Structure 1
Amino acid sequence: MPPVSEILPPGGLAQLAPVASSAYFLDVDGTLLAIRPRPEDVVADASLLGLLAGLSDAAGGALALVSGRKIDDIDRIFAPAVFCAAGLHGAEIRFPDGSRILAQSGVMDIARPKLLAFVARHQGLRLEDKGATLAVHFRQRPDLGPEVLAALMGVARGDVAGDLAVQEGKMVAELKRAGHHKGTAIAALLKAAPHAGRQPVFIGDDLTDESGFSFVNALGGISIRIGPAEEPSAARHRLSDPDELRRELRSLLGG
């Protein structure tokens, strides 16, 4: 992947992606909110809730949260606000009209005990069971990263249906259904109002977001990665951290 090509200057998002014609797809962890050691500790503050609600209203509802988390967990983070959302890397989607695509968790039934046993053998690892995906966190044991990845890939290769894939992230690797990723989630949301017919804007921070960047690039949309310039990415623009992103989102509303 090529490096991020351009640092977005102050006010740049408002110039590239005005609210009247854009559909905004936003990752959560590391993008809107800083990553925490424990996923359950992440909660949106009142300022962010107000900012997202205002942006959604200004864009006619064309705003969606696109995350590796379950939609139920997204709702917990942003309560009492409820936004259009795609969870589990696109395995579940809640459309603006309230209709949903539900994730099927049965595909993980065989993999679950294998990963539970693997994590139990390695102190410092944590298994996050999301039902339709299984994530192994190694933030406390970064030295075990290659071993975690190898274990998940072994489980995926052992799936006779060929329905499993491994998604790498920041200090985490996740077993998910093949064919689901953030690019497919954005594609599904763009088929329905109010996102349909608008320029797609996807903002993320991680390897899990690269499929989304590539998808919106192919449509002539706007892709922005949050993080250091030296990290290679398909995203065409960059912001340094969630605080800079909030500045740009406020600029969309004239703030």
Structure 2
Amino acid sequence: MKKVLLSLALLAGFAGAANAQSGVVKYGIKGGFSLSSYTGGGDIGKNTGFKPGFTAGVLVNYGLSDMTSLQIEGLYSQKGAFIDNASGFYANGTTYTAYTNKQYRSTLSYIDVPVLFKVNTGEAGKGLFFELGPQASFAVGLREFTRDQNSGAGSPTEQDLSTDRNRLVPVGIGYVGGIGYQITSGFGLGVRYTGDFSNVYKDGFGAGNAPLRSDNNFHNGVFQFQVHYLFGGKG
């Protein structure tokens, strides 16, 4: 009888530990640095380099157990790419002007909404964690421009190609995978990769109906380096 009672007590203890974080809701803020590019799309995806940007926003984390949680985020995220020694056209009314051997850059702005399943391998909500899940991306802004090779931001050689957000696929579907470390119950660091299944543009790359618009099978790909702080619950 004593063995049975001891076994029941141990099971109750394990069950209590497993559900210690169940139902706990935490809120947080996060932000960080990103490197984005285009993937796929033949020559377009192969020739693009990584463009720096940033991401920032809020999150809600719902504890499923002591080691697992569901996290929903709303993030402003910069994406895009650059191409060295690019040649193409930009629209000026009904005419097109050619550019050659320029550095092409695009800054694309999105509101990203990832829904992540998180596994924390540490104790008391701290330690190494992994995250994975789908993401919806809502396009909110676009700027494409060129500038001379080896010139920096704000160069007088910058020439806008397009600021028409309607050229972007309005809602993209993708995925997020990442790893991080929860240093304290509030403060943590993470690295993740986000990739889109959806194309970047509705009808192709380049301004208006310019010839450069023929290749459209490419997607956003972004490395993000983030810091976050969680409020609420017991970490």
Same fold by TM-score greater than 0.5: no
Q: Looking at secondary structure, tell me which structure has more strand per residue.
A: 2
Structure 2 length as normaliser, TM-score?
0.23
- Give the greater-gyration-radius structure (CA): 2
> Greater RCO between the two (CA within 8 Å, min separation 6)?
1
Q: Looking at secondary structure, tell me which structure has more helix per residue.
A: 1
Structure 1 length as normaliser, TM-score?
0.22
